[in-house]
Structure 1
Amino acid sequence: MPESVTAKSAPRASLLARALARPHWLAPPLGGLLALSFGREHAAGLAVVALAAFAALLWGTPLQQAGARARRGALLGLGFGLGWFATGIWWLYISMAVYGGMPALLAGAAVLLFSLYLALYPALACALAAALAPPAGRGAWPLARGLGAALALAGAWTLAEVLRGTVFTGFPWLALGYSQVGGPLAGVAPLLGGYGVGFLTVLVAALLALASQLSLRGTAVAVALLLAMALGAARVGQLRWTHADGAPLRVALLQGDVAQSEKFRPESLAPTLHLYGGWLERLRADLIVTPETALPVLPEDLPPHYLEQLQSTLRSAGTHALVGIPLTRGADAYTNSVIGLGGARPYRYDKAHLVPFGEFIPYGFHWFVRLMNMPLGDFARGTLDQPSFTVQGRRVAPTICYEDLFGEQLAQRFASPSQAPNVIANLTNLAWFGDTIALPQHLQIARMRSLEFQLPSIRATNTGVTAIIDAGGRVTGQLAPYTAGVLLGSVQPAAGVTPYAWLASRLGYAPVVLLGLLALALGAAAARALPTIRD
């Protein structure tokens, strides 16, 4: 080969060698791989593989100083988080650019900046976990030190996720536990909740990643622990804390498929009222559920006697209905609400957890909202312990769209076992996000709520996914997204309170925070007790 060709090849080889020696560039693609496990069936293992590869990357440094490892861990965590969130919540661009009228470049920048903010949480977790892990060296890590590093990563990750789900009212979308719905680890949800499932997911991934640092004997122990965890989760998943209560309820779930661009236009009001009013008058079921704001105007702006006519028709037919509609509280306070029709007494539920920028404008961000052509404003909040809607003697607990992401808040309704819900009903409108992965992601979240409380869930959505979910988190019926129709089926009410519901109703996030702190403390103790690496 001519020398000139060899000389030109050498720099390329050295560039590749340097890239492999400093593999920070791998973090964002691995984060993107993790994002692909959300909203997809049979993808629970993908999340574990992505996290295991990332943990091996996080631990694969010979840096001796804990501070240096922490800085490297923060950088890796930031890159991983950016890939994770930018890939997983890109659909926010649709709401801002397509339906909000924001310039495309500005909308894209907003999604990127928001993803960067969310990435700060895994960056914080990885900085702490990397500082507590030993440096990679020529010899294997001691088993106790390796297990301590795995616990530290799981604990720090879980605490960071709780922070992400609570700071500034929280954004727990893509919380790791949701990726495991349908997987073997989901069986522990009635005990530990979604955050607890996420803790075990990180721990499993970390134990897999330890194969890159432990001796053959240590790896065998880690594999044995993995098998024990899998068997334990399967066993726990067979436990039943709730039981069937009464006869199944016949339900009719409405999906109007009203385009978001048309939903609030005055000329669209009459067709929308005709669509939902016709269904409510004709259908016969124990419970009919409409989507969020199916009736998109205040009661005083409806045609005369519209609601009174529906109430009379439903009562005479022995049918109950949960109807999404905006209401007022006082002179100038608006609420995103649900009213119950067909019962002997009026029923009202006001959304308790509002969406930032959608239902309230954070302080200092009115300029941002003015860039969008959306009917936004500041809504009033409902309380977390509002009563359920009674249907055939069973209690149906409404939630409105985004607030079903907050299991610890929903758990407040289980503080009194005698008044605990028997069915969860979510009324949703995701038309803001188009025909995207946001729809199955939200369905996955609803399935986690059913797993945590071992209760059936029913979902009525504007564009999808309208579905019936049993107490084991399995979808037993659903409508195709972006079609107008009615999902008819039955749902078996359940009674009882899971350990997760009991603890969260009294202690909120404290149990999962204590779990994360305990794991972190054990990791720190292992780091202090065994500071050196065995050659």
Structure 2
Amino acid sequence: MTGQRAAGQPLWRREAAAWALAAAAGVAQAAAVAWPGPQTGFPTLRSGEPVAWLHGLSLIALVALLARASSAPQAGGRAFVFATAWLGGVFWWLFISMHTYGGLAAPLALVAVLALAAFLALDYGLLAALWWRWRGRSGVPAALAFAAAWTLAELARGVLWTGFPWGAGGYAQIDALGWAAPWVGVYGMGALAAALAAAVVLARTWVRALALALAALLWGIPGTGAWLAQRLPDFTAPAGALPVRLLQGAIAQDRKFDPEDGIPLALRWYGARIAEAAVDPALTAGLVVAPETAIPLLPQDLDPAYWHALAQTVRAGGAALLMGVPLGDFERGYTNSVAGWRPGGTPLPADADALGLADYRYDKHHLVPFGEFIPPGFRWFVDLMRMPLGDFQRGGLPQPPFEWAGQRIAPHVCYEDLFGEELAQAFRDPARAPTVLVNVSNIAWFGDTVAIDQHRQIARLRALELGRPMLRATNTGATVAIDHRGRVLAQWPRGQRGVLDAVVQGRQGRTPYVVWVARWGLWPLALTCLLVWGWVARRRS
């Protein structure tokens, strides 16, 4: 027995070391999505920005760890540790919403974040174990099989259990592989990065040398991705300029629902900014956007005179308004919505239901688990927190755009911009496709954290995929205007109350990504990965 223990101890220690390396690589992958550290003198390490080379190195480390595993379960375990560290590092800020604002005990909030990360990491562990079993020895087939396995795991996380694709690897590559977004989207970009990293480890001779050269070019030389993007065709055409004003109320989450503080402040501040915009000649035929739940009460719980004055102000002015507001009642259910008003029309009667006469309404389609609907069997967990949560009704898909000033403006609410395949459904009919995208958000639930930066990168990638400018009006950040190439045109400082003025160019036409994803969803990408696996398995037989 003594000899067996002595022989087994080094093996245990080696595996513990492998797990530690996997966890470190996973944390590096999390940091690569949006650098959480301070501003540095290095051009590739900028606070809040993606770090493509760090993402690439983390994947190279993962492939090396999996390739050196002695069994499929061992490979699966290493990938599970990597993914748990990565995902926990990406959305650690959920702890703030549950503990700081939700009142959940700190140990329970920590366990909840780790449990979610571990649950989502199961996909990566399972796919890594299957890859190890089917990979063959090495070479290009093994590298392609790894990319397919990685992509299938990403797709599973983004689709199963309503989907939670926050922090997908492709977001770290927006400045290096963004030129591929109009063709293959964020998951395809992740697949390209995974294939390149795997080729560096697994390919032989000249193929490995080529992979190293490509990695050094795309990940090591800033500006290479932008240079490539400028030399690819632009699949969209201008559809007219739109002046916009984005409102950022910066009302802290612990004040937002306070009837003596946050609610009166929101009513005064947003009302005053809308009135100013209505008479500003720079916003004639323009658009004002207020964030998600800018007014955090149901309309029927406020003085009708407030809504009447707001609607009358917009009708008499020169700029249209989109505002996030909860709608509904107990009998019909509640929705997280965006209401819209346009200038013009006859004056409203004094007793008019101004919100009922709104020109436009969008209801959020993709709801947040635990935040906007409670999964079966988890009521007990929600009851542990002091948060205004409940079961909302879902809006349809797609919903018509808000038409104004020659533009077709498609709003969506917060978390929905993670799902490019769902936003693309509005592009099925090219003649009715949106020309401008608008996101209204409130991520004050997560404090002044890297979640704000991560969400900005998500918005940039949606703009690239869909070939449309993206406007974001938020409570605390990132309030930003982005062009159709994913470039930030203007941004308001996070956490500060104020307005952001910009002019965006609406676009028409469809990217290749929009064409296939609007018709078939993500199935073409999944089937491609399965065909790669079938090809590799056949080579081994």
- TM-score normalised by structure 2 residue count: 0.87
Q: Equivalents in 2 of 1:110, 1:402: separation in Å?
A: 20
Find 2:18's aligned residue among 20, 23, 26. 23
Structure 1 equivalent of residue 509 of structure 2 = 496
- Letter of the structure 2 residue corresponding to residue 27 of structure 1: A
CA distance in 2: counterparts of 1:515 and 1:321, whole angstroms: 43
Partner SS state of residue 308, structure 2: helix
Matched, 1:50 2:64: no
| Alignment match, 2:447 | 434
Partner residue of 2:39?
none
1:4-403 correspondence runs (5 A): 18-19=13-14, 23-40=18-35, 41-61=49-69, 63=70, 69-134=71-136, 145-183=138-176, 185-210=177-202, 214=204, 216-220=205-209, 222-223=211-212, 235=228, 238-246=232-240, 248-267=241-260, 268-283=262-277, 284=280, 285=283, 286-328=286-328, 331-343=331-343, 346-403=359-416
Distance 1:473 1:249 in 2: 17
Quote the offset at 1:96 in angstroms.
0.2
Q: Distance in 2 between matches of 1:521 and 1:225?
A: 27
Q: Deviations over 1:243-286 (max 9, x none)?
A: 1112x111100000011111112213222100100000112320
Residue 29 and residue 297 in structure 1: after superposition, are their counterparts in 2 closer, same or farther (change >3 A)? Answer: same
Aligned counterparts of 1:419 and 1:209: Cα–Cα separation in 2:
47
CA contact (8 A) 1:152 1:519 kept: yes
Taking the aligned partners of 1:258 and 1:380, their CA distance within structure 2 comes to: 26
* 1:367 to partner: Cα distance: 0.2
CA distance in 1, matches of 2:273, 2:217: 51
1:287 is paired with a residue whose SS is: strand
The residue type equivalent to 2:25 in the other structure is L
Task: Tell me how far apart the structure 2 counterparts of residues 226 and 44 of structure 1 sit (CA, whole Å).
Answer: 10
Residue 45 of structure 1: CA displacement? 1.3
- Give the Å deviation of 1:228: 11
Q: CA deviation at 1:23?
A: 2.2
Name the CA distance, whole Å, in 2 between partners of 1:90 and 1:524. 38
Partner of 2:477: 464
Question: Unaligned 5+ residue runs, structure 1?
Answer: 1-10, 64-68, 136-144, 529-535
The alpha-carbon deviation at position 525 of structure 1 amounts to: 3.0
Q: Offset of 1:236 from its aligned partner? A: 6.3
Cα distance, 1:47–1:225 mapped onto 2, change above 3 Å = closer
SS class of match (1:164) = helix
Measured against aligned partners, the alpha-carbon deviations of 1:462-507 in whole angstroms (never above 9, x if no partner) come to: 0001001011101111011111010011111111111111111111
Whether contact under 8 Å (2:235, 2:511) holds in the other structure is yes
Shift of 1:520: 2.1
1:282 is aligned with what amino acid?
Answer: E
For residues 329 and 208 of structure 1, what CA distance do their matches in structure 2 show?
Answer: 57
Q: What is the CA distance between 1:515 and its match in structure 2?
A: 2.3
- Of residues 16-25 and 332-341 in structure 1, the stretch that sits farther from structure 2 once superposed is 16-25
Moved more, 224-233 or 124-133: 224-233
Alignment of 1:493-532 (within 5 A): 493-528=506-541
- Amino acid corresponding to residue 219 of structure 1 in structure 2: R
SS of 1:382's partner is coil
CA distance in 1, matches of 2:226, 2:442: 34
1:505 and 1:17, CA in 2 relative to 1: closer, same or farther beyond 3 A?
Answer: closer
Contact kept? 2:30, 2:86, Cα under 8 Å: yes
1:291 alignment partner AA: P
Q: Alpha-carbon deviations, 1:295-340, whole Å to 9, x = none?
A: 1111112222222222221122121010010011782400000000
CA shift digits 1:372-397 (9 cap, x unpaired): 00011100000111011112010111
Relative to 1, partners in 2 of residues 1:473 and 1:146: Cα closer, same or farther, differing over 3 Å? same
Structure 1 residue 478 and structure 2 residue 491: aligned? Answer: yes
**Contact 2:439 2:470 survives alignment (8 Å):** yes
Closer, same or farther in 2 for the Cα pair 1:21/1:77, shift >3 Å?
closer
| 8 Å Cα contact 1:152-1:521 kept in structure 2 | no
Amino acid of the structure 2 residue aligned with 1:45: W
Identity of aligned residues (%): 46
- Count residues in correspondence: 496
Shift of 1:523: 2.7
Q: Secondary structure at the match of 2:33?
A: coil
By relative contact order (CA 8 Å, sep 6+), the higher-ranking structure is 1
Partner Cα distance (2:289, 2:398) in 1: 21
Q: Deviations over 1:322-359 (max 9, x none)?
A: 00100117824000000001255710000000000000
Shift of 1:19: 3.1
